[in-house]
Structure formats: C-alpha cells, structure tokens
Structure 1
C-alpha cells in the first residue's frame, strides 16, 4: 500500500460475496491510467477473484492473467481456476501499488484501481465513481489522495 494508507489484513470470509464491488469506465477509448475501480472485501486475492473475473469475462473474454503488487495482498497462489480455465496470478513489486491488471487471452486488458477493503463506504464509492468516469485522467495517487482526504 502507499505510505499514507496502510492496509490491514483481513481473514478469509466464511460467506461468498455474490457481486464484486466494481465500476468500469464505459467501453470506449478511455483516458487516464485506470479503467475503473474495484473494492474487494478482503486482502485474500485468490478468494476475491472468482466473482470479479466472472464479471470481467463479459468485457475481456476468457481471462489469462492477473498481475498485482505483492505488497497489496496476503500470500497468493500462482494460479486459480475459473470456469474450467487456469488463470495465472503474477505478483511483482514493480506493479503499481493499489492496482491490478486483468489480461484476456486475446490481448485486451483492464487496469483497475484497488480500493483498500477497510475503506469507509462513502469514500470507497466516491473513489470508484471517480476512477470510472469516462473523462477521468487522474493518476492512482490522485484518486487515492482524494479518497483519503474525503475519508479523513
């Protein structure tokens, strides 16, 4: 996480989360670094991905890989199964903090701002809506700073 906003680890959920908390920019030429925002329920990436990737498959087609920053998530396996397919999970320290990249098998990709799970509801929704606005060209740092200031 960024130095100004530390993520507290959460335990895996005992109940499934039926819908991911996700906002995407409209399907059109986009502006800015991110294509939308995702607000997971925990920092257990493998647990969080099944519902998210099922939704993103509609836009990207079959998913091949998810790239994430190692510092953002609890220990994560190298792959997960989704609809009979193996999705590679690649953690790097060079991946921008507070983001994931989701890459389809035919090349399309989405970069999502990741809202920390413990973020207050109103602040998280404001940040998600900002990140998903068609004309938003803010950086990751801008989007998170605005969220922290609104949360403060």
Structure 2
C-alpha cells in the first residue's frame, strides 16, 4: 500500500520557511527544509516498537519527501525491539546504529549530503488525538522549544520512564558507561533548550 501524501497549502506559522508535509498512512510529519534552530525536524508515530517492521516504511517515506537517500539511522537501543544492523532499501543497505547515550524519544536519519533529520518518536500506544496534535505541532515552526516543551504542548508525558533495576535504584550500563536512570543527553548537534 502506498501512503497518501497530504500537504498544507500554506505554512502553519508565519515564521515557517517551508510547507510541512504530513504522511497520514505512515503517521509522519516532516519539514522539507530543516530548521537548524529546532530540536526536531518533525515527528513519527510508528505502530509498534519493532524496528525491523517499522523502519523500512519510514526510510521510503523520508527518501521520497526529501528527495534524498537515507544511508544511516540512529536509534536508542532500549526504545526499540528487534533492531537489525541493516535494512534493505531501493538497491542499498541502510545501516542501523543503536545507542544508549542518545535521547530515546528521537530517531536520527543521516544522508550522503546535507544535515541529518531528527524526528520525535510518538510512542506506538499513544491515543490518536494526542498523537495527531504532536504531528501537527512538529510541522510548525518549533524553533526554541525543547522536546519536553513540545510534548507538554501536545499533552503527552514529557519525560521517558526512568530505567531502574529491580530494587528501584539506578544501575550502571555496560555500553557507553553511564548510569541508567539518569536523563539522556542529546548528541544530535541540535539545541536542547529547556522550557
């Protein structure tokens, strides 16, 4: 099934520099021209946490919407299940990197040329109204808003659930050497201003 593309006839914000795109079948909002002052370039509402099932559709949609070729995707290792090392896409293999030092609420797509695209992940089990509000909000000019502020405006929980050991205490992670349960830091190169 080919997703139907919907685009707004005018920017949703007077400060917007490009018309946002919303792919309703894939549940994706994306600014065609990323705003370097924004912490995310859009949002994605996958149907599950299964990376192998969800990422091929995302790759195809982003390639088509941006007229670019996705070469690599970075995900948070604990936010997804069934993460493959590579995903076939239009005659190439897209490399999937998983990390634990990134914000689990975002996914980063990198290309051969140009800046990476950072998408806010709307949890799969989110109710439709809140998810659609988040998709619409991230299609607007959101420069200066943190991820927490975007989620608060869309009436979603702002912080991911802390990861703790069975006794409730924070524990040390083997990969990357950080304390699990501490707030994740953004390594996307984008501002992380608090609101």
TM range (shorter): 0.7 to 0.9
Cα distance in 2 between the residues matched to 1:132 and 1:21: 12
Q: Cα RMSD between the aligned structures? A: 2.0
Instruction: Report the number of matched residues.
Output: 134
Structural mapping, 1:1-152, within 5 Å: 18=3, 19-27=25-33, 29-58=35-64, 59=66, 61-146=68-153, 147-148=155-156
Cα distance in 2 between the residues matched to 1:107 and 1:30: 12
Q: Deviations over 1:103-127 (max 9, x none)?
A: 1122431000000000000100111
| Shift in alpha-carbon separation, 1:65–1:124, aligned structure 2, 3 A | same
- 2:131 partner SS: helix
TM-score (norm 2): 0.63
Greater shift after overlay, 85-94 or 52-61?
Answer: 52-61
Cα distance in 2 between the residues matched to 1:41 and 1:17: 16
- 2:63 partner SS: helix
Larger radius of gyration: 2
- Higher RCO (CA 8 Å, separation ≥ 6 residues): 1
Cα distance in 2 between the residues matched to 1:89 and 1:28: 22
Higher helix proportion (structure 1 or 2)? 1
C-alpha deviation, 1:34, in angstroms:
0.2
Show structure 1 runs of 5+ residues with no match. 1-15
- 1:148 partner SS: coil
C-alpha deviation, 1:25, in angstroms:
2.3
